[in-house]
Structure 1
Amino acid sequence: MQNIHSSPFQPQTAFEAPVFPKSDEDVEFVSLALQRNFVFANALSDEETSRKREMKSVVDAFEVHRVASAGTKISSRDLVGDYFYILKSGCVDYMGVDPATGSYGIVGRARRPGQSFGELCLLYDCFPPADCVSGDPRDGKKVPADGSSCVLWRMHKQTFRQIMAHRTMRRDVALRNALLRIRQFDGLDSEFIARIANALDVRTVGEGDTIYREGDPASEFFVVGGDGSTVELSGGGRPPTALGHGDAFGSSVISSPDGRRAETAVARTRSTLLVMDREHLDRTIGSLADALTLSNDRRLLKSLPLFRDSDFEDYEYELLAALIDRKELRGGTVVYEEQTMVEEPALYIVRDGLIDLICDEKPEREKVLREGDFFGEDTLTPDKNMKFGGPKGGTKYYQESIEVVSDTATVGMLTLSNIESVVLDLHRLVAPRAKSGGGRKRGLVKSRSASLEEDVNVHGLDDLNLLKLFGAGTFGRVWIVTSKGGGKTPYALKIQSKRKLLDKRQASSAKREREVMAKLDHPFVCHLVGTFQDAASIYMVMSLIQGGELLNLIQGGGAYGGLPEIATKFYSAGILEGLTYMHRRHIVYRDLKPENVLLDSDGYPVIVDFGFCECLPSSSIGLIGGIPRTNPPPLPFSVVTDKTYTFCGTPLYLAPEIILSRGHDRGVDYWALGCLLYEMLFSRTPFFTDRVTDQKSLFKNIVRGKWNVPNDKLTDAGMDILRGMLTKRPADRLGCLAGGYRDVKQHLFFRQVNFTKLVKRQIKAPWRPEIVDPLDISHFESFVDRDDKGMKDMEPLTEDEQLVFRDF
């Protein structure tokens, strides 16, 4: 199945869902019809008490659509659909080509009130599978009373997308505001608050039910859920307290997991509660103490002038904080002495204990350092010759003496070498570059890890030799090229038609692809070498990967035909490393499939095609801050930006949260990796079975999480990692728990994989493609007989249309 996508979608914070008047009978009719449709039945929450409230905004947004005469076309298979319909009365004929006879005619019919069609149009931009035409009203089970041919309820796709996005965003804000009021979470940054909010479980309690009693063992904490839910706390020597939507209670378990309840909690109405036990909390964020430390370290690094004045991005602060090592020091230990040569430049953060800072030259600087204080930042700067101290050869001297004065002390230590491993160029600490806003400048530039034979300078198509066509898609072509300036290194040149991109509303995706690729430099990710454009097309010059698609191996392209488990581990481990590299930079890939993983000349996997990538804002830096929040101001509705709502991908690999329009993040890549891992093992995808005949059936299987293995040859570790990745709920999915990508890398399935050697390309690949020369593309489909007419004679762009590509 080919890629599918909706137009780029942004939730509107000021959106007001339309309300069309309905009788009680109409409300009940539309509600029942929606509950029978998989999109709506699954798109709303699972708790019964909230379902009706959430359904109301959806039901209110349906409007009546009357079709006056029989034979009127309601939707066309030649036009992208905009509406979802429910038949109220009359009849609708589905017109198309009968595969048996090859003739155009009726291929289906809606004649029972409550039948629906067009649900896929709500999810993404697609053409209906048939023309929908009003039929003879007498053919329906119910004849319209007003003389119309048929009467329908309908909802526009933009309305549906906005309602679903608002539902998710409002829920996220309400839960995060509730969690921010929990004393034990003071200091946690928004990444951890978001994880906890997403992982809360739902529980429904009846009116008068006792949730827990004073003296009971404490094991869970709670947040009051939907509107109308009320809980009363009593006992513990305090007057009764009424709690409503968004209030948290029972939080003593967070700091005292073995404690007892100090009050009694009773539901005063039928209520929805969001609940989490301490064990689940640990699975979600890890140790609370470690999460608080990491949150504080991130904020501290951002506050230090040395770092604050740099051009570091949020993901770099996150990586730096994760590299702060813990060091135990005994009383009397001298960490370093004033005016001695700097041997190991490092920033130190005091975790506990007392440490003296002594400065003979500037006595006013002397003080006792306690928890949260820091020292050593001066050692990270270069000398007058712009050389850094320690192994870097610079002449740097300590400006103070540091001695432990308590019995013991603990410090966090961030070394210069660890800083360099993240920021790559240490001079960014002292000479921050102006942020470019998205990537390299036009023309060809040398990649840090690409092995280029020569520097080239290309300003347009005339500077390149187009040698062989070896790829063709919806928007353009891919050629093997070399530089006319005498260069011998072949590259891949991706040419995309501006007109086609605009007509398909994918110009922003092409620009985003360039911006994303300009940030990536990893051995298992395709390298962007440079870009340029002319009046008709945009051009991307990339490294050439000659070994063909991973799909060829899976389907038995001369090697296996379904891969042995050891080979599956090799390829999936390489793909995981590439995805992890992107995720650390807040990039969600969203189009993982075997066609988008190529094999290089050594047989290593390389991820390509970044048109569906999305750069998410950091959810861990700066949204909430770190000040203790006794009475925190509520988060504004617009603050939740750590999910994206644009529908895109390939149907076979879509995660449930994409199909259900719930908003998604990097978790969709772990789901797709699970699908791909399954496909490598069994040469088929997990949700496409013999009974699946169309996309709707496929989507039903995905949102229900229905899959099984076709044989008993899979190891227990293989089955376990599949279960972990193909978990419907993103918060419980392998890769989305406290350990993140480490949970995947450390899974028993990958026990035989040395990831350090893998990234250094020191492992022999299971299969190495035979490549006879630098232009050999024999491992790809042949395009010898295809021409390039699709790129020519297209309608020229207007000035305003050209502005869309101005930064390419």
Structure 2
Amino acid sequence: MGQAESRQDEGGAHAATEGLARLQAITGAKGPDAKLKPRGNKAAASDHDFIKSSLCNLLLFGRLDNVAQVKIADSMWERVVPAGEILIQEGEVGLAATELYVVKEGKFEVLERRKGVNMRVNVKERGDVFGEVSLMKYVQEFAEGELGQIEVFLNSVPLLNPLSRDAKLKLVDAFVEETFAAGSVIIREGDLGDKFYIVKGGEAAVTQGGKEVNRLFKADFFGERALLSNEPRGATVAAVQETVCLTLDRDTFVEILGPMDKIMAEAKSVEVSKARMARFKPRGSAAAASRPRADVFIRARGPSGAPYEVVASGHLDEVQELARGGTKLGSSSGAASSEGAGDSKGNEGSSLTLVEAALLGEGAFSRVSEVTEESTKRTFALKRMTMTAALQCPEHVYCEQHISKNTANGFCIRQYASFKDPHHLYFLFDLMSGGDLMDVLVAEAKIIKHPVPQKSGMRQGVLSPKVKMWQGMDETMAKFYVASIVLALEYLHDNGIVYRDLKPENVLIDGQGFAKLGDFGFAKQIDPASGGRTYTFCGTPGYVAPENVLGRGYNNSVDWWTLGVLMYVLLTARQPFSSPKTGDPMEVMRRIVDERWPIKFPPYMSPEGRDLIQRLLERKPAKRIGMLQGRADDIKKHPWFAGFDWESLTARKMEPPRRPRETDFSKRKAELEESHAGDPVVPKITPPEEAECAKIFADF
């Protein structure tokens, strides 16, 4: 946000002093007083109700249970800020940018610098909150504990013992929390049952024939045989006090895992799973350090197009393979070539020269250009990022290196080599000369006039008025691109990888018009040993899935959600959660998690397309299409894809619906050239930063 500053009241009567409650544990403090600053004291217990009531309006805090809310309120501390003191500076990083603030007294002005002038854009008063994103680490902590607790509950159910841990974890997200008032009947003896219950909190009485036979408390369960059949209930269970239960119905269970008897008869092959996952495991430090390296000469273009040469260092086996015109497709670990690749005496192909041409694209910390390998004349895409920028997220850099290097699928971009110079990291990828899917959408989108359905009660025979509205690409074209992404995600998920950043800009188009998933910076290998889920909040605000926003842990489910958003964008040329228009990313995310917020579809969209999008944008991940028993096949068999030739597309024999045109992205390429014309040959770097870069990227 802009800089927040406390000032005198406009009337000048007195200087306002503001008390602030801050969330101190977000930044890693170990003890309750470990991070108290000068003039800061732990928030008084009498302020806890005020803190909770202020925070309850926040998306994340309002969804936590009372125990979690109390713990957060107890972790706050108070600070007095004199009038005129700047609390948060625009563009600031570090502690102040990662904390949550609740205004206790006084006022804060929120200023934003516009055209060199500080403009007041907001005022924060008592009860106002800012810095909501800081809650995510707390939410993650509580989510991990809650999900772990549910897993423990499931482990105590004898009927579920035959299930693998992976199967049980898939069920975790499917449970629905239900609250029963004191005295209410939860299940009744003799009624047909189709739902299984686990007591999360409270107390319930079990009666048979009107006689009490048992009491149920936290972690107790009942009705589990309903997962097998709808036989009559053998007892009545009623809430003695307000009781919270986690419930799972049989239909949902079957949708996710299949019939219980079939699941019990199947044994999951752990060995096959481990072998498949091993191919994508990152190279260890020792292995990477021991691999021989070779020179890579890059004839680059500096400021104003002036040529200069960079000498980088790449792995010898990769360099030799490329110099001989090979691709090492199917290689799982970049092992040395049999033709002397692992022997420093082998001189053939022991260096590589790349000649840089036009810029193709850019990321937050990188730029991509077309390069030609001098001896073979083969063309590639070269991604370059400064080490200092990569220091902000080295784990993402290494994930991209290892995953994209081992990916061998016709719908995922392939990395052929990686290398580095003293200041930059480089990836050599497939050349995707057709731009990206956003370029295609921009070229195809148009404003149309379409009749709008009339409300009931209108006079019969009155023609529906035509209204101007945006329309994206036609559904036949969109089907080709969505199907290509389905094949890419299916491959990644089968290999234990979640992509996490699907959007049109990350779907690249080759010279023939085929689409490939690119930019694996956020991709992650999910380790089954860690419970098969991850908690990091990442992605693009309009595309992130509800489970990502809420910090409850997620897996492949987020990719199918983002596919639903992308499909909506391709067909309508707008995002599903950005209308009414808002510039506040938190408001967009509130809409994403709010089950009451409806997704509006334009009248020209087919019923089948609308249905598939709705099933992909199912807010409960366990019920989302792609996450059910049929996995990606459920999407392939959806009516929207009726008659689609999946085999032809998989074999890349299908004719792409659109060939790339230079005009699609010529303007963007010109803008790229202009924006990077002044890029320095050697980026600014301090000695401490240089030392840290050398240490962090020693194994790159």
Aligned residue pairs total 590
Quick one: which of 260, 269, 277 aligns to 1:288?
A: 260
Partner of 1:72: 85
Is 1:106 aligned to residue 120 of structure 2? yes
SS in 1 for 2:656: coil
Partner of 1:252: 225
Distance 1:542 1:559, change over 3 A: farther
- Indicate conservation of the 8 Å contact 1:550/1:595, yes or no: yes
Partner of 1:526: 413
Partner of 1:755: 646
SS in 2 for 1:517: helix
Percentage of matched positions with identical amino acids: 26
Quick one: which of 534, 552, 556 aligns to 2:443?
A: 556
- Indicate conservation of the 8 Å contact 2:203/2:241, yes or no: yes
Quick one: which of 21, 33, 38 aligns to 2:54?
A: 33
- Indicate conservation of the 8 Å contact 2:360/2:435, yes or no: no
* Cα distance in 1 for residues equivalent to 2:350 and 2:199: 60
Partner of 2:480: 570
* Cα distance in 2 for residues equivalent to 1:459 and 1:563: 47
Deviation at 1:252, TM superposition (A): 1.9
- Indicate conservation of the 8 Å contact 2:164/2:268, yes or no: no
Deviation at 1:40, TM superposition (A): 2.0
- Indicate conservation of the 8 Å contact 2:330/2:406, yes or no: no
Distance 1:579 1:524, change over 3 A: same
Distance 1:236 1:512, change over 3 A: farther
230-239 or 284-293, which deviates more: 230-239
Quick one: which of 273, 276, 279 aligns to 2:245?
A: 273
* Cα distance in 1 for residues equivalent to 2:369 and 2:647: 34
* Cα distance in 1 for residues equivalent to 2:205 and 2:567: 49
Distance 1:216 1:22, change over 3 A: farther
Q: Report matched runs for 1:54-73 at 5 Å.
A: 54-67=68-81, 69-73=82-86
* Cα distance in 1 for residues equivalent to 2:213 and 2:129: 50
RMSD: 3.3
- Indicate conservation of the 8 Å contact 1:223/1:247, yes or no: yes
Quick one: which of 767, 775, 781 aligns to 2:669?
A: 781
Distance 1:26 1:176, change over 3 A: same
Quick one: which of 495, 507, 512 aligns to 2:384?
A: 495
Distance 1:63 1:613, change over 3 A: same
Deviation at 1:62, TM superposition (A): 2.0
Is 1:448 aligned to residue 329 of structure 2? yes
1:566-605 deviation per Cα after TM superposition (whole angstroms, max 9, x unaligned): 1111110001110111111111111111111111122111
TM-score, structure 2 normalization: 0.78
Distance 1:582 1:791, change over 3 A: farther
Deviation at 1:163, TM superposition (A): 2.5
* Cα distance in 1 for residues equivalent to 2:495 and 2:512: 27
Partner of 2:426: 539
Is 1:465 aligned to residue 355 of structure 2? yes
Deviation at 1:787, TM superposition (A): 2.6
Aligned structure 1 segments of 4 or more residues deviating by more than 6 angstroms: 11-21, 236-239, 438-441, 455-460, 558-561
Q: Which has the larger radius of gyration?
A: 1
* Cα distance in 1 for residues equivalent to 2:230 and 2:121: 65
- Indicate conservation of the 8 Å contact 2:166/2:531, yes or no: no
Distance 1:569 1:779, change over 3 A: farther
1:373-430 deviation per Cα after TM superposition (whole angstroms, max 9, x unaligned): xxxxxxxxxxxxxxxxxxxxxxxxxxxxxxxxxxxxxxxxxxxxxxxxxx9xxxxxxx
Distance 1:769 1:161, change over 3 A: closer
* Cα distance in 2 for residues equivalent to 1:275 and 1:745: 30
1:77-99 deviation per Cα after TM superposition (whole angstroms, max 9, x unaligned): 12031211111111111122367
TM-score, structure 1 normalization: 0.68
In structure 1, stretches of 5+ residues that fail to align are 1-10, 45-50, 123-159, 317-422, 424-433, 624-639
Deviation at 1:719, TM superposition (A): 1.0
Matched letter for residue 218 of structure 2: H
Partner of 1:664: 554
Quick one: which of 173, 176, 200 aligns to 2:175?
A: 200
Deviation at 1:239, TM superposition (A): 7.3
In structure 2, stretches of 5+ residues that fail to align are 1-25, 35-40, 292-314, 322-326, 332-338, 342-347, 448-470
Is 1:116 aligned to residue 129 of structure 2? yes
* Cα distance in 2 for residues equivalent to 1:13 and 1:292: 44
1:93-113 deviation per Cα after TM superposition (whole angstroms, max 9, x unaligned): 1122367xx6324332123x2
Deviation at 1:728, TM superposition (A): 1.6
* Cα distance in 2 for residues equivalent to 1:755 and 1:118: 47
- Indicate conservation of the 8 Å contact 1:549/1:780, yes or no: no
SS in 2 for 1:463: strand
1:235-260 deviation per Cα after TM superposition (whole angstroms, max 9, x unaligned): 389973332222221112223x1312
Deviation at 1:39, TM superposition (A): 3.2
* Cα distance in 1 for residues equivalent to 2:177 and 2:32: 26
1:333-389 deviation per Cα after TM superposition (whole angstroms, max 9, x unaligned): xxxxxxxxxxxxxxxxxxxxxxxxxxxxxxxxxxxxxxxxxxxxxxxxxxxxxxxxx
1:3-47 deviation per Cα after TM superposition (whole angstroms, max 9, x unaligned): xxxxxxxx9999888899666642221111111223322x42xxx
1:523-559 deviation per Cα after TM superposition (whole angstroms, max 9, x unaligned): 1110111111121111111110111111112112699
Distance 1:798 1:569, change over 3 A: same
* Cα distance in 2 for residues equivalent to 1:215 and 1:680: 52
* Cα distance in 1 for residues equivalent to 2:53 and 2:350: 61
Matched letter for residue 284 of structure 1: I
Distance 1:577 1:559, change over 3 A: farther
SS in 2 for 1:312: helix
SS in 2 for 1:648: coil
* Cα distance in 2 for residues equivalent to 1:799 and 1:94: 38
